[in-house]
Amino acid sequence: MGEAETPSFEMTWSSTTSSGYCSQEDSDSELEQYFTARTSLARRPRRDQDEPVEWETPDLSQAEIEQKIKEYNAQINSNLFMSLNKDGSYTGFIKVQLKLVRPVSVPSSKKPPSLQDARRGPGRGTSVRRRTSFYLPKDAVKHLHVLSRTRAREVIEALLRKFLVVDDPRKFALFERAERHGQVYLRKLLDDEQPLRLRLLAGPSDKALSFVLKENDSGEVNWDAFSMPELHNFLRILQREEEEHLRQILQKYSYCRQKIQEALHACPLG
């Protein structure tokens, strides 16, 4: 993402829920091995009634875009306006709600990021051996100032970078959410989709369209998104689970065999 496309952030918390913190050592820690693998591999049931839906996104002419921006700005009662640029692109704000079930990881040498840290946040380029995991406040909301050509994947990467999160961006996905006739509909954005364009087409109403950051649970495990220590952790956890299942099966048949033998000894001869 070029410098002109880098989202700037106006951030506000919508939840007073405090974050839960748990400190983890490097990949030799038993707790980290079990925690990382189990939370990454677990198949959690859906906790809401969201239903997938398709949205049509028609192409607009430059004149139509200008008219849409005027209509959009006339409907909002804040200073989060959209602006048309000379090159035909436009800038504006999108609001992203974070609904993360699992904790995120930051360098353990860093304290959990505050709002001031998030605005200053350095890059995520260096590899980290020691990490601290913590839960982001539930239903936290961020306002992002982006370009019309800013892609969904870039929004995710910028959010993680601002909060010093070292997890792979492919572990997360940006969704669009809408309420229609009392039903809630959810759709995962493709990497190249442009959230601000969707915002303009839908108008400023959060019921018509809002954005949600969630874990990228697509049903298939994207193994390329994990580091080598995490993959080794998965193998160790799978081995432990296999050994435990085997122990339980042997114990079950041993118990049955013992009861049968006791019954045979109790039967009178003849």
Share of the chain above pLDDT 90, in %: 38
The predicted pLDDT at position 15 comes to: 36
CA distance 13 to 75: 24
- pLDDT of residue 247 exceeding 70: yes
Q: What are the tokens at 212? A: 């949600």
| Most distant pair of Cα atoms in the chain: their distance | 104
CA distance 102 to 44: 11
CA distance 64 to 80: 20
CA distance 6 to 196: 13
Predicted confidence band of residue 24 (pLDDT cuts 50, 70, 90) = very low
* CA proximity to 189, closest of 204, 172, 206: 172
Return the higher-pLDDT residue of 195 and 56.
Answer: 195
* CA proximity to 148, closest of 3, 5, 9: 5
The radius of gyration computed from the CA coordinates of the chain, to the nearest angstrom, equals: 25
The predicted pLDDT at position 174 comes to: 96
Question: Do residues 178 and 207 lie in contact, with contact meaning Cβ atoms separated by under 8 Å?
Answer: yes
Q: Which of 13-17, 43-47, 71-75, 139-143 is predicted least confidently?
A: 13-17
Q: What are the tokens at 24? A: 């983890």
Give 197-220 pLDDT, tens digit per residue: 999 999 999 999 999 999 987 656
Sign of the torsion formed by the C-alpha atoms of 105, 2, 115 and 9: negative
Concatenate the DSSP letters of all residues of 190-225 into one string. PTT--HHHHHHHH-S-TTT-EEEEEE---SS--GGG
Give 117-149 pLDDT, tens digit per residue: 555 555 444 444 577 777 777 778 888 999 999
The predicted pLDDT at position 208 comes to: 93
Architecture in CATH for domain 60-104+129-217: Roll (3.10)
Give 156-182 pLDDT, tens digit per residue: 998 888 778 888 898 999 999 999 888
- pLDDT of residue 75 exceeding 90: yes
Return the higher-pLDDT residue of 78 and 253.
Answer: 253
CA distance 64 to 52: 28
The predicted pLDDT at position 228 comes to: 84
Domain locations along the chain: 60-104+129-217, 223-264
